[in-house]
A and B are shown apart, each in its own frame.
Chain A
Amino acid sequence: MAYEIVVLTNMAIAVLFALSLNVITGFCGQVSLGHAAFLGIGAYTSAMLSKSGVPIVITFAPAMGMAALIGLVVGVASLRVRHDFLAITTMGVVFLFTGIVRKQEILGGEIGISGIPAPDFGRVGLLATSLLCVLAYLLFTIWVRRSWAGFAFDSISEDEDTARLLGINVPKFKLFAFVVGTAGAGLAGALYAHQVRFIGPDSFGFVESISVLAMVIVGGIGSIWGVILAAAFLSALPQFFQVIDDYKLLVYGLLLFGAMRFAPEGIDGLLKKIFRRRAVK
């Protein structure tokens, strides 16, 4: 039972993390190759605080706040660059994050932080907390999507010059997406820190950033339900593949390629196609 709970908690955290990137990349169309940095900022903030005795749930707010604050700074910086320049800038952010953490003694340097206190509400409690966080964030993003903010995002993600000519204050909306998205990643990081109870710079690198982007894209850029499915599936994949552990990454890599090659619209696109075909029949 304990094992299943761990797997489920990991899935919930992955879903939250992917939903948070979906706000930036899916809704607002700003590709980020460095989202794991914000998972890391949340994780480190929360871990440091709870190690100094702050109750876990209380650490969530500063974890989100810290991630969002740095997210805002990165957002402001990325207003200057577009498209592929933006992608590589965000990639730089994650390398910068791990590079700085590695050299900070107080953050545990290369070794990282261990002995993060176990949640006093137990493993099941952590799972429940994670699910609640996912639910809250999910409802919030559904609200965003349906509101005029989502409407404006639709235009920005397609063509920001046109969006500007429709009277949309594009920079403000972009910053909003960055703040909401990075705060969500910070929350996921806080949960993650207490799930694994040991964090280091390598847990929040470029590969993790790519994995979460892959979840968003395999799910179908911008589609909330597709992204949830993809995140749950891709995060559990290593568990399914225990048997072929040696070939795990090979399968993962080929899966990414295959998904892009044969279903570039992602799970969302596939589902739509199936339902449309049914409807036609």
Chain B
Amino acid sequence: MLFFDLCIQGVIQGAIYALIALGLTLVYGLLRILHVAHAALFTLGGYIGVIVTNGSGSFLLALLTSMLIVGVVGMSSYTIIYKPLLNRTPLIALIASIGIFIASEELFRIFFGAYGLSYTNPPLQGQIEILSGVSLSHARILVVVLAIGLLSGVGWLAINTRVGIAARATVIDPEMAASSGINVEMIRFGSFFIGSAFAGAAGVMVSLLNNLVEPTMGAVPSYKALAIIVLGGLGSVRGALVASLALGIIESFGTIYVGHLLDRDSIAFAFLIMVLMVRPQGLLARG
């Protein structure tokens, strides 16, 4: 059942990537900025998840609090980091964002310690046998369910509501949207909120799967998520989702079959470079 196992692992990893990548894609679509500090929001989500669960005993409360707080912090990151830099070259915003990311890793370490936090009573550890011989913990199932639920929820809003349609138009062409009377500023706040909240949710889920949050847990997922949104065609939400899933699965197979040549992180980037050489505009171009 190795094949099946690897597929499942890939899908779970892909679901986490997708939750993180959504925010990055939205920010890129709206501001043309690579939002590295997004990873700090993911980590923040993990910390809030552990702390609130340990304090209150309710994982659901922790998940919701985390999404709410991270969403709000994400909105303020727009005001604090990016808004003053909007008319500079994107490289400036990228470095500023990296600066904030480095600083926030340190803040996590200073506040919560270098060794990280764990759940005192990890929730959702029960196992379900989904096929004979293959069983999954509730937590792992929840990751996938949550990703599908949240992402299709947003997808539904984007297609069926006025605000959603305006937001999609803005992501595709911000200038055009502004000139046709859409309140671009509101769309930006909204997108930062949703994107960050989802990253927060991903942080909570990863903290649960590993039963650990550490100051540096955001680093690798954030680099991967950058690769994913580039792979997906920068600014294309659908592309990013497809790329998340593809990368999750390729990594899980790759570590088994080419793991002796390349480590997990470089498999992702080898795949990225190969795709870009064939399709320099990413898997799905914008639109």
Where the two chains meet, the residues of A that have a C-beta atom closer than 8 Å to any C-beta of B are 31, 77, 80-82, 84-85, 87-89, 91-93, 95-96, 98-100, 102-103, 206, 210, 213-214, 217, 221, 246-247, 249-250, 252-261, 264
In the assembled complex, which residues on chain B have CB atoms less than 8 Å from the CB atom of A95? 223, 265-266, 268-269
Q: Is the CB of A91 within 8 A of B266?
A: no
Bound: A196/B265 CA distance, A: 27
Contact pick for A100, options B88, B90, B234, B261, CB 8 Å = B261
Chain A residues with Cβ below 8 Å from B226 are 88, 91
User: Does B142 reach chain A (CB closer than 8 Å)?
Assistant: no
Contact with A along B85-110 (1 / 0, CB 8 A): 10010111111101111111111001
Most B CB contacts (10 A, CB to CB) among A80, A255, A260 go to: A260
Selecting from B148-156, B206-214, B273-281, the interface stretch reads: B273-281
> What A residues does B32 contact at CB under 8 A?
84
Q: Find chain A residues with CB under 8 A from B101 CB.
A: 253
Task: Give the 3 A-B CB pairs with smallest separation, nearest first.
Answer: A99-B266, A256-B99, A253-B103
> Are B106 and A89 within 8 A (Cβ)?
no
A91 near B269 (CB under 8 angstroms)? yes
Taking A84-B230, A256-B98, A256-B99 as contacts, is the C-beta distance between A246 and B110 under 8 angstroms?
Answer: yes
Judged by a CB distance under 8 angstroms, whether B15 is at the interface is no
CB distance from B234 to the nearest CB of A (A): 6
- Measured between beta carbons, the chain B residues less than 8 angstroms from A246 are 110
Q: In the complex the two chains form, what is the Cα distance from A256 to B106 in whole Å? A: 14
Q: Is the CB of A96 within 8 A of B269?
A: yes
Is B262 in contact with chain A by the CB < 8 A criterion? Answer: yes
Give the distance in Å from the alpha carbon of A111 to the alpha carbon of B266 in the complex.
Answer: 18
Which of A91, A103, A214, A264 is in CB contact (< 8 Å) with B261? A103
Q: Mark interface residues in B253-287 (1 if CB within 8 Å of A CB, else 0).
A: 00000001111011111101100110011100000
Q: Provide the bound-state CA to CA distance between A206 and B102, in Å.
A: 12
For A88, what are the chain B residues with a Cβ–Cβ distance below 8 Å?
Answer: 34, 226-227, 230, 272
B residues at A contact (CB < 8 Å): 28, 32, 34, 81, 84-85, 88, 90-96, 98-107, 110, 223, 226-227, 230, 234, 260-263, 265-270, 272-273, 276-277, 280-282
Nearest-neighbour CB distance to chain B for A95, whole angstroms, equals 4
* Residues of chain A contacted by B261 (CB below 8 angstroms): 100, 103
Report yes or no: B90 in contact with A99, Cβ–Cβ below 8 A: no
Instruction: Find out whether the CB atom of B100 lies under 8 angstroms from the CB atom of A257.
Output: yes
Residues of A within 8 A of B263 (CB): 99, 102-103
Q: Are A89 and B273 in contact (CB under 8 A)?
A: yes
Asked if B272 and A92 sit within 8 Å, CB to CB, the answer is yes
Q: Are A84 and B99 in contact (CB under 8 A)?
A: no
17 A-B residue contacts at CB 8 Å?
A80-B280, A81-B276, A81-B280, A85-B230, A87-B94, A89-B273, A93-B269, A93-B273, A96-B262, A99-B266, A100-B262, A214-B99, A247-B106, A250-B107, A257-B103, A259-B99, A260-B95
Question: CA–CA, A257 to B99, complex, Å?
Answer: 5
Which B residues are in CB contact (< 8 Å) with A260? Answer: 85, 88, 92-93, 95-96, 99
Q: A88-B227, A89-B273, A260-B95 provided; 16 other pairs, C-beta below 8 A? A: A31-B91, A84-B230, A88-B34, A91-B227, A96-B270, A99-B270, A249-B106, A250-B103, A250-B107, A253-B99, A253-B103, A254-B99, A256-B102, A257-B100, A260-B88, A260-B93
Decide: B106 and A264 in contact? CB cutoff 8 A. no
> Residues of B contacting A100 with CB < 8 Å?
261-262, 266
Residues A254 and B103 in contact, CB atoms below 8 Å apart: yes
Which of B100, B102, B227 is the most central at the interface, judged by chain A CB atoms within 10 Å of its CB?
B102
**Distance of A210 Cα from B99 Cα, bound (Å):** 10
Decide if A84 touches B92 in the complex (CB within 8 Å).
Answer: no
Q: In the assembly, what is the distance between CA of A91 and CA of B100, in Å?
A: 19
**A88 vs B268: C-alpha distance when bound (angstroms):** 12
Supposing A80-B280, A102-B263, A257-B96 touch, asked if A250 and B269 sit within 8 A by C-beta, the answer is no
Contacts of A250 in B (CB 8 A): 102-103, 106-107, 110
A206 surroundings in chain B (CB, below 8 A):
223
Q: Give the chain B neighbours of A85 by CB distance below 8 A.
A: 230, 234, 276, 280-282
* Complex interface: chain A residues within 8 A of B234 (CB): 84-85
CB <8 Å contact, B96 and A256: yes
Q: Contacts of A213 on B, CB cut-off 8 Å?
A: 95
Task: Decide: B269 and A253 in contact? CB cutoff 8 A.
Answer: no
Decide if A261 touches B91 in the complex (CB within 8 Å).
no
Give min CB distance, B148 to chain A, whole Å.
27
Q: How far, in angstroms, from A257 to B40 measured CA to CA in the complex?
A: 15
Chain B residues with CB under 8 Å of A256's CB are 95-96, 98-99, 102
Known: A77-B277, A99-B263, A214-B95. A257 touches B110 (CB 8 A): no
- The CA of A71 and the CA of B226, in the complex, are separated in Å by 23
